[in-house]
Amino acid sequence: MLDQRQHSMLDAMGIQLWSRRQQHQPGDIVDVTQPDEAEEQLHDWESLQQAVETCHRCGLAATRTQTVFGAGNQHAELMIIGEAPGADEDRQGEPFVGRAGQLLNQMLLACGFSREQVYIANILKCRPQGNCNPSPEEMISCRHYLNRQIELVAPKLLLAVGGVAATSLLDSDKPVGQLRGELYHYGGQKVPMIVTYHPAYLLRQPSEKRKSWEDLQFAMRKLGDLS
């Protein structure tokens, strides 16, 4: 049985261990330092998706309509990482299908990508109740799934949209305004990553769209350099 520090070290080295956990109820405090008995390696898309669909690693399992795994091109050059499903996504089982999703689609089109050409996933696979920010425990519980998705897609570039995705992936507490404009490298595979504003934030603050467009142009330039 590995402790949390050993799990973190394996994560940092890009080695994925998978564990099934007991079922949790909403509001449960999940002790992520106590991984469960049966650890399994998840190799392919099918086993990964099935593990997500049957996941009970945190209390959100009890309140979700369904899990929201991810969508798009499994060999995409560009992978978008958002925060967590909202009400629309929870209902439809697909990421970014609400108003923020429509804006994301337009942002992608402006970069010459259709939604189907990129891969879209979230930090959390289940909707947080009442659209709360994901808790650290929920994000840790879900991280293995996202890491494996990133490994399988093997994108040239990750685009983290919004503060939750950016700070969680970069283990930072800086706001997006300070994280954008830099090229980062994520995880053991050192996947290039750029940060921009969340489309839901841009719907509330349309004046920030210009900065977001600068970020997208930066991302397109980096994608060009990486090809």
The residues binding ligand URA (CB under 6 A) are 82-86, 89, 95-96, 100-101, 122, 200
What is d(CA 170, CA 75) in angstroms, rounded to the nearest whole number?
23
CA–CA distance, 100 with 154 (Å, rounded to integer): 25
Q: Are 118 and 132 spatial neighbours (Cβ–Cβ below 8 Å)?
A: no
Q: Which helix (H) or strand (E) holds 153?
A: helix 136-153
Those residues with Cβ within 8 angstroms of residue 179's Cβ, 6 or more apart along the chain or in another chain: 166, 167, 170, 172, 195
Distances (CA, A) of 66 to 138, 154, 179, 197: 16, 26, 32, 26
For the CB of residue 135, give the shortest distance to ligand URA in the complex, in Å: 15
- To ligand URA, the closest distance from the beta carbon of 7 in angstroms equals 25
- Smaller CB separation from ligand URA, 7 or 198: 198
Q: And the tokens for 58? A: 């945190």
Q: Which is nearer to ligand URA, 155 or 197 (CB)?
A: 197
By beta carbon distance, the residue nearest ligand URA is: 82
Q: HSE (CB half, 13 Å, CA atoms) of 203?
A: 12
CB of 188 to ligand URA, least distance (A): 24
Q: Which is nearer to ligand URA, 100 or 191 (CB)?
A: 100
Nearer to ligand URA, 87 or 226 (CB): 87
CB of 205 to ligand URA, least distance (A): 15
* Minimum distance of ligand URA from residue 5's CB (angstroms): 29
DSSP letters spanning 181-213:
T--EEETTTTEEEEEE--HHHHHH-GGGHHHHH
Question: Shortest approach of ligand URA to residue 53 CB, angstroms?
Answer: 16
Comparing C-alpha atoms, which of 161, 85, 72 is closest to residue 115?
72
Minimum CB distance to ligand URA smaller for 42 or for 120: 120
Residue 48 vs 197, nearer CB to ligand URA: 197
